[in-house]
Amino acid sequence: MSQFEIIRYETPLEYKEFLQLHLIPNEPALFGPALTDDWKARKEWVLPSNETDQGPRFKPNYSFLKSHFAGAQVQVATCHKRHFSDQERTEMKFEEFCQIWETQLESSYYLKDWHFVKAFPDEKAYKVPEVFKDDWLNAYWINSSQDDYRFSYMGGHDTFTPMHSDVYRSYSWSSNICGIKKWTLFPPDQEEYLKDKFGNLVYDIREVDLEKFPRFQQAKKAVLYQRDGETLFVPSGWFHQVENIGATISINHNWCNSNNLYLTYRSLAKDYKDVKGAIDDIKESMSEQEFMAECQHLLLMHSGWNWDTFLSILHYITSEYMTDCDYQPSVQWQIEKVKKVMDSWVSEEGESLIFLPLLYKHVTLGHRTQIKQLEQGLENNEYLQQVAREYTLAVTFSFRQGSNNSFWKTILERLPNTRRLYFRDYMSLSVKKIQQVLSLTPKVSLLGIEYCELVHPGEQVVFRNVTSLNLMWTDFSLEAAQGLFQSIPHLRQVTLGANHNRKPLDNDTALQILQTVCPDLQRLTISLQQVKESTLCALLTFYGPQLEQLSIRCEGNQSMKNIADYAKGLQHLVIRHSGCEKNDITNILRECASLSHFEMVSWPIQEVPMIVLDRMKLPQMEGIRKTFALDRNDLQEIRRLCLYQE
């Protein structure tokens, strides 16, 4: 079996070098400890070892690990027990695993696939090296709050991971915190030598049945020993087996981006073909859509994702993630890679276009290249036109520098069912621009503005269908606020989130304008800073009798009294308050008899009535803040036991 070397770098590469030398050609690389020298994990998780020069330089700091992460639930493989193409796995507390790991040197337990960052988000044990930052997979999953592909591995001497290639044909990077790993890697074009006649992959390269795998010894391979602090980049589709020498800890990410997107797509397409073939015998008993839906369900179970997931990732990446920065190729380059995949998908999997409606429910218009791509698609693809016309319900505009109207006017005309409209990240957003967009989307009922600077009053025009406004982290001039409110006077729901308005009383005046221009509010959320209590009290007095929902940030007792006096019909109440009298809460609970949800955010426990603490089974304590959420049953019980018993 012939061997080849993997290049090693003592100092980190610049991203552009890494892109040209390793990402695009799909070639592995080993980086020296300089890439991870400043990691917290390399300082706190390990201690110096007494090994010789040939052994590991560091060993696990078991005491630190147990004291900080003892209660975490972890997944542990038993390396000497095979389970199909993997190893038997069980779950246990980290403290239990750590005790076995430390005391039973011959244990075959290997902690794998621990979502450490997800379990301990504030720990900051490491930071992703810049050459690996362009990570579509984790960007999408972290944003959707469902999962991630950021793992920690811990195991003793002679534990191992069987031969495999990484999930989704993703890249991976693996940094050794301590111990030594022996890697045996095979390029993707060696796959035929690694499988038997049934397509089964070699399980353990140390024990290969050459009668079953007669061509195994013809495969080309690379063998390397990864020492403490070193980081290995494993390219897409490379097969590998990993063996631990000494007690090891590693941090691993699976990731993908525009450079291996096509390989990832081909992997999913192959799995999809296999799934369709497996249930082809029942195809005639189903409609086309039922069969496709069943295939997607089975694909999700088999591969961990399906076309729905894949297209959702592309949608998020192209609309929210791509940018011109130091650790990504140009946006144009990335868009071309996506286009190549989408063209292949449409030509090869045209029947799966039934998933386009889900993808186009919410369209984000950001980079101009993306807008032009969508514009061309809507111009040339009749099915996409139909999907956009019927299924697009939400549109987000996201431009740091603003945009030319011609870029989006023709697109909006093709999205007649848009109901929700969002503006985000505008350094200067005029009310006139908002009015222009609303005039092209007459069915919009919800307007959202986030992280913008709202300027200029706009025209005297009214949009009667807009009944909800969310204004978050947005500064505004008084003229702009007045122009906006006057354009949408029929609001029933308003959220005014925190901002940084620097002019004294601007927020107060804006609330007074709101009260004058929009009299019909039933659901109100206010968390603006620098608002006088007298302004809030006036607002509560005016809107109180008709309010159904209220979320408010207030600093004085009079606001609390006004809630009890004027907002008796409230059903949902959230209060952020720095301090009050206990009677104020009791009065609200007594007077607002329709409440089904009452939440006190970050409330000093010593200022919470005992009737609430008793219901929540909490003791009275000084100096502790908690959030208390009372549901309908809690509120009914408090009233029954306490409030009406004089």
**What are the residue ranges spanned by the domains of the chain?**
7-122+133-257
Element (H, E) at 519: none
pLDDT tens string 310-351: 988 988 898 788 988 999 999 989 999 998 998 888 788 765
What is the C-alpha end-to-end distance of the chain, expressed in Å?
Answer: 90
Beta-carbon contacts of 490 under 8 Å, excluding residues fewer than 6 positions away, are 464, 465, 466, 467, 518, 520
Residue 24 has pLDDT above 90, yes or no: yes
Q: How many helices (H) and strands (E) does the chain have?
A: 22, 27
**Percent of the chain predicted with pLDDT > 90:** 58
Residue 589 has pLDDT above 90, yes or no: no
Residue 592 has pLDDT above 80, yes or no: yes
Please identify which residue in the block is written with the tokens 């099915």. 383
Whether 317 and 337 have beta carbons less than 8 Å apart is answered as no
pTM of the full predicted structure? Answer: 0.66
Q: Which of 111, 128, 71 is nearest to 248 (CA)?
A: 111
- How many C-alpha atoms does 171 have within 13 Å on its Cβ side? 29
pLDDT tens string 241-283: 999 999 999 999 999 999 999 999 999 999 999 998 989 888 8
Residue 607 has pLDDT above 90, yes or no: no
pLDDT tens string 57-81: 999 999 999 999 999 999 999 999 9
Say which residue, 264 or 145, is predicted with more confidence.
264
- d(CA 611, CA 416) in angstroms, rounded, equals 53
So what CATH class is 7-122+133-257?
A: mainly beta
Q: Is 546 exposed, middle or buried (0-12, 13-18, 19+ CB in 10 A)?
A: middle
Q: Which of 308, 284, 285, 288 is nearest to 296 (CA)?
A: 308
Residue 526 has pLDDT above 50, yes or no: yes
Q: Is 503 exposed, middle or buried (0-12, 13-18, 19+ CB in 10 A)?
A: exposed
Say which residue, 577 or 599, is predicted with more confidence.
599
Give the highest mean pLDDT range of 255-264, 351-360, 450-459: 255-264
Average pLDDT over the chain reads 88
**What tokens does 10 get?**
């003592």
pLDDT band at 618 (very low <50, low <70, confident <90, very high): low
Whether 230 and 10 have beta carbons less than 8 Å apart is answered as no
- d(CA 220, CA 227) in angstroms, rounded, equals 23
Residue 298 has pLDDT above 90, yes or no: no
Beta-carbon contacts of 114 under 8 Å, excluding residues fewer than 6 positions away, are 72, 74, 75, 151, 152, 153, 154
pLDDT band at 579 (very low <50, low <70, confident <90, very high): low
Backbone φ and ψ of 207, nearest 5°: -140, 75
630-635 long-range contacts, CB within 8 A, separation 24+: 630/597, 630/598, 630/599, 631/596, 631/597, 632/596, 632/597, 635/589, 635/595, 635/596, 635/598
Element (H, E) at 129: none
